[in-house]
């Protein structure tokens, strides 16, 4: 099977899909961790809180980055059909 050219829309979408799948794995892990902590109802120490904040910030960054990249692809595809 022919591999799509690195700069084509399908190839770009495949790369972003892979990024999105990895993001979903990270998000799933974090959600499971939050659920586990909530279930134990224990007080959180500062390092745990800092870890949650760091992971939350990273997930927000990744989400925004993917949103921007997918928007750019959409605009590129739209402009190519005009």
Mean pLDDT, contiguous 10-residue spans, the chain (82 residues): 64 82 85 77 76 82 84 79 70
Q: Would 24 be classed as within a structural domain?
A: yes
Residue 31 lies in a domain: yes
Q: How many domains does the chain have?
A: 1
Q: What is the pLDDT of residue 65?
A: 87
Residue 36 lies in a domain: yes
In a domain, 67, yes or no: yes
**Which has the closest alpha carbon to 17: 57, 60, 73, 56?**
73
Q: Which domain holds residue 54?
A: 9-80
Please tell me the total number of residues recorded for the chain in this structure. 82
Task: Phi first, then psi: give them for residue 4, nearest 5 degrees.
Answer: -65, 145
pLDDT recorded at residue 46: 78
1 within some domain: no
Residue 65 is assigned to a structural domain of this protein: yes
């Amino acid at each position: 099977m022919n591999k799509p050219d690195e700069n084509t829309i399908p190839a770009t979408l495949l790369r972003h899909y892979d990024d999105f799948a990895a993001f979903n794995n990270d998000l799933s892990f974090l959600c499971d961790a939050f659920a586990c902590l909530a279930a134990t109802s224990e007080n959180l120490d500062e390092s745990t809180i800092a870890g949650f904040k760091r992971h939350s910030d990273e997930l927000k960054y990744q989400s925004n980055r993917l949103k921007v990249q997918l928007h750019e692809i959409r605009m590129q595809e739209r402009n190519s059909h005009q």
